[in-house]
Amino acid sequence: EVHLVESGGGLVQPGGSLRLSCAASGFTFDNYAMNWVRQAPGKGLEWVSGISLSGGTTYYADSLKGRFTISRDNSKNTLFLHMNNLSAEDTAVYYCAKAASSGSGSPLNSWGQGTRVTVSS
Amino acid sequence: DIQMTQSPSTLSASVGDRVTITCRASESISTWLAWYQQEPGKAPNLLIYKASTLETGVPSRFSGSGSGTEFTLTISSLQPDDFATYYCQYYRRPWTFGQGTKVEIK
């Protein structure tokens, strides 16, 4: 069974940084693209970032303006999201999500439970 | 960028009702469309991909149709577990979600 467990969320001041992690198990991690999706309080889903099998190709939502960096450590079955210069607009639950296949054009068929990030002074 | 627009935003229905949700793309996306269900406080769950293919384990009362710019999600007979929010998603770059449709109890 696929398990995705996010961690690293919490309260951070505006302008601060945070690193989210997603520990994966139950599948061959380096056979699948991975993504981060966020959901602000009371709002809908927003795709944040995606990464290819090897980590060599990354994708980001235009709205992030280069502040976030996605990466993966296939030796440790872990996905990361480094977030810099955070603002209140980044307050959200961040979900780690597994692509259904190795390709970039793939739906998200497994999700973690999410980790909450709150940006506030 | 491609925009995805769902309608309605909220839908009131009763158990046993047939429910249809529409998702429109700002330009043709072929059948690169998925539908997700999200219950309050939980992560989303994939229901349908490639516009009409049911994900393994999803009840057959859910169905999807459409191609190009217009798509629909239909629940043939609404069950208590189906009161949730539903999202469509274009799953190629930039992986855009619709704004969601909340199905609530009438």
DSSP states along B29-71 = -TT-EEEEEE-TTS--EEEEETTTEEPTT--TTEEEEEETTEE
DSSP states along A53-89 = SSS--EEE-GGGTT-EEEEEETTTTEEEEEE-S--GG
Q: How close A112 gets to chain B, by Cα (Å)?
A: 7
Q: Which residue from A minimizes the CA distance to B6?
A: A44
Task: Render pLDDT for B42-96 as a digit per residue (tens, 0 to 9).
Answer: 999 999 999 999 999 999 999 999 999 999 999 999 999 999 999 999 999 889 9
Q: Is B89 on the interface with A (CB under 8 A)?
A: yes
- The whole-number pLDDT of residue A35 equals 96
A34, A104, A108: best mutation site toward chain B, by most B Cβ within 10 Å?
A108
Q: Which residue from B minimizes the CA distance to A5?
A: B43
The number of C-alpha atoms within 13 Å of B54 and in the hemisphere containing its C-beta is 10
- The whole-number pLDDT of residue B55 equals 97
- The whole-number pLDDT of residue B94 equals 83
pLDDT at A18 over 90: yes
Using pLDDT thresholds of 50, 70 and 90, give the confidence band for residue B1.
Answer: confident
Query: Cβ contact (<8 Å) for B38 and A61?
Result: no
Task: Render pLDDT for B3-35 as a digit per residue (tens, 0 to 9).
Answer: 999 999 999 999 999 999 999 999 999 999 999
Q: Which residue from B minimizes the CA distance to A94?
A: B43
